[in-house]
Amino acid sequence: MAKVFCYILNHFPNTQLMKGLVIRSTGSWYLVKTEEGKEIECKIKGNFRLKGIRSTNPIAVGDHVQIIANNEGTAFITEIEDRKNYIIRRASNLSKQSHILAANLDQCMLVVTINYPETSTIFIDRFLASAEAYRVPVKLIFNKIDSYSEEELHYLDNLISLYTYIGYPCFKISALNGEGIDAVKKDLQGKVTLFAGHSGVGKSTLINAILPEQNIKTGAISTYHNKGMHTTTFSEMFPIDGDGYIIDTPGIKGFGTFDMEEEEVGHYFKEIFQFSKDCKYNNCTHTHEPGCAVRKAVEEHLISESRYSSYLNMLEDKEEGKYRAAY
Ligand SMILES: Nc1nc2c(ncn2[C@@H]2O[C@H](COP(=O)(O)OP(=O)(O)O)[C@@H](O)[C@H]2O)c(=O)[nH]1
Ligand SMILES: [Mg+2]
Ligand SMILES: [Zn+2]
């Protein structure tokens, strides 16, 4: 940082130091909104390294940064403030490098559909567990309620009871006809919120309903992304009326996973963690150990079978070493 700073000061006397928020990232340049409300395109120079992770992009949407700008409009990011959290994913399947999707999130809304397309409970639970590890609070949005059969609606209500009971707030909405959207809108006030979920669940439709002026592309673009023609992810933050931001990352389905120890996986399933305090062994994996309070709770229907299956599913990945590969 110091080197860049001196270089710029020496060569461009009319420079200005400012603080701002990174609101768009394309990989090669960043759009920074300054404290005065100006939007400035910035490049980075120098070496930004994060402790412990190898990343393809050192700076992400949501980062609070310091920039230096001259009168000709050239600007550089010179410093990043410490992050309260961030989410990453692997840059590509084969790569050991990771890509930071966003930083400093207040919450994440996981958009879920029971059908068209189906979101499995395994997917939901893995997402929730990763978010716990990232220390990002999650709320669930069940979308497309205008399109379900009675049976599907019944199943949806069961899921809502389950996740509400565990401690995840749930919304029941139709992004298409607007039902339930006001409650979501209210909950976004004053916060930085990331929207996640499978392609086709209605994220862009929902964001458009909340921010009609942004006119984010729906449907067609998602399928284009699915074919993998462009795997690069450009994240963007959209300001919401009043105060707060929505982050749309076209490529995000779930979070990358942390390098966690086997006995740690259970810490990220809230109710499993609660019961595990009564297990006989404190490194219990809740699979075969005698005196396991978690398995007892599953038998007594105090922990749902679907949650326990998702837990076992994550643990299996762990055994196959997939967690390590996540970096
Ligand atoms: N019936 C119904 N369709 C919806 C709803 N929300 C979105 N869709 C449709 O689902 C498709 C995918 O939506 P999109 O917003 O692009 O999903 P994304 O990939 O998550 O951004 C589009 O054809 C939308 O019109 C909804 O609440 N009800
Ligand atoms: Mg979309
Ligand atoms: Zn146990």
- The answer, yes or no, to whether any atom of ligand 1 lies below 6 A from the CB of 56, is no
Residue pLDDT, tens place only, 183-193: 999 999 999 99
Q: What is the DSSP letter of 55?
A: B
200 pocket-lining for ligand 1 (C-beta < 6 Å) = yes
Outline where DSSP puts E strands in the chain. 15-25, 30-34, 39-44, 64-70, 75-80, 86-90, 98-103, 107-112, 138-142, 170-172, 192-196, 236-239, 245-248
The CB of 199 under 6 Å from ligand 1? The reply is: yes
Does residue 41 register a pLDDT over 80?
yes
Report the share of the chain in percent with pLDDT over 90.
56
Phi, psi of 94 (to 5 degrees): -90, -20
Over residues 271-320, the pLDDT tens digits come to 999 999 999 999 999 999 999 999 999 999 999 999 999 999 999 876 66
Pocket test for ligand 1, best of 205, 207, 216 (most atoms within 8 A of CB): 205
Place of tokens 């669930």: 140
Encode pLDDT of 108-154 as tens digits. Answer: 999 999 999 999 999 999 999 989 988 999 999 999 999 999 999 99
Atom of ligand 1 lying closest to residue 201 CA:
20
Q: What is the pLDDT of residue 323?
A: 45
The model's pTM is 0.85
pLDDT band at 70 (very low <50, low <70, confident <90, very high): confident
The token pair that represents 9 in the structure block:
């000061």
